[in-house]
Amino acid sequence: MPDDDAVDRNLQGMDELDFVGWNNADWTGVFARYHTDDVLVDWQGQPQTHGIEEHIEAMKSYVEHTGGGAPPQITSHPIKFGSGEWTCVVGEFASGARMVTVAKWHAGAISEEYIWA
C-alpha cells in the first residue's frame, strides 16, 4: 500500500516549490532545495537538462524568453495527486494557462521531472 504521508509531504513540497521558489525566482534557495543535485528534467519541446545547475539555467532562460523580470506566476494547483514516489500537479498561471508536472521524488526532492505546458 502506498505511503499516503509521503505523497502528502511531496505534494506540499510541490506547493512550496511553485508558490515560493518559482514565483519568487528563488533559484538557489527553495527551488534548488526541492530538486536533487542530479535531477533529470524533460520539458516538452525543450532540451532535457541533467543536474540542478542546468535546470536553473533553463528556467532563467525561459523567464527571460517570456519577458524577463519575475517568472509567470503560478496561482493554484487545482489538480494534484500522487502514488508512491510520484506526484502529478496541474499548475495554473495568472494568465489562465496551465502546465502539468509529473515528478519522481527521492528523500523529499524531485529526482525526475516531466513538464507539459
The single-letter code of the amino acid at 69 is G
SS3 37: strand
pTM listed for this prediction: 0.94
- Rounded to the nearest integer, the mean pLDDT of the chain is 95
Whole-number pLDDT of residue 2: 53
Whole-number pLDDT of residue 68: 86
- Mind listing the domains of the chain with CATH numbers? 4-116 (3.10.450.50)
Question: Is a pLDDT exceeding 60 seen at residue 1?
Answer: no
Question: Is a pLDDT exceeding 70 seen at residue 31?
Answer: yes
The model's pLDDT over 67-109, given as tens digits with 9 standing for 90+, comes to 888 999 999 999 999 999 999 999 999 999 999 999 999 999 9
